[in-house]
Amino acid sequence: MAKSKIIDTDSFRRTVNRLAHEVVERNKGTENLAIVGIRTRGEHLARRLAQKIEEIEGKSVQIGILDITLYRDDLRGRLDQPQLKSTEILFDVTGKVIVLVDDVLFTGRTIRSALNALTDLGRPALIELLVLIDRGHRELPIKADFIGKNIPTSVKQEIKVMMIETDSEDGVYLIDTDNDEKEMSR
């Protein structure tokens, strides 16, 4: 299994900073803005972005955490049952501009689930998608608005995002596997 580092700690930080700037630029500030991270690494990424945006704009942004387990389209086909965790969105999403955050964009199925989960909570004015890595191989018509880095991959490869909140460091690795089956990024 070959493993190569494609983003190190410093460029990880710069990428998150750039993404935060892009979000406030596109949305002309933080008015009506809320950031929703998809468990688990999307949640950590959302917190980092919110902190950075607060530094840039001097205003705090609301954060929510989305658990998409109940909305997965592979819930019944799996042998291992994913642990259900809580969705923690304490504000009303109706009328808000929601920046949906995940670490890796791959088939798009996670985002499809997240969109259904979000719209079951209310009717946001706008939903934007922010991902740290876009690795291609979409199976649904989904496209990100903010992308940390585009990394063309083969389906045999795996992208591993490490974040200090759950792992030993901040960084992104590209891993070659012998696995012919598609590995879901989550």
**Interface contacts to other proteins, rule CB under 8 A:** 67, 69-71, 75-81, 83-88, 116, 120-122
Nearer to other proteins, 62 or 177 (CB): 62
**CB of residue 39 vs other proteins: minimum separation in angstroms?**
11
Nearer to other proteins, 56 or 121 (CB): 121
**CB of residue 79 vs other proteins: minimum separation in angstroms?**
6
For tokens 């930080």, name the residue. 13
d(CA 3, CA 75) in angstroms, rounded, equals: 30
**CB of residue 62 vs other proteins: minimum separation in angstroms?**
17
Nearer to other proteins, 80 or 178 (CB): 80
Nearer to other proteins, 164 or 184 (CB): 184
**CB of residue 106 vs other proteins: minimum separation in angstroms?**
22
Nearer to other proteins, 32 or 69 (CB): 69
**CB of residue 108 vs other proteins: minimum separation in angstroms?**
18
Instruction: Quote the distance between the C-alpha of residue 163 and its chain's center.
Output: 13
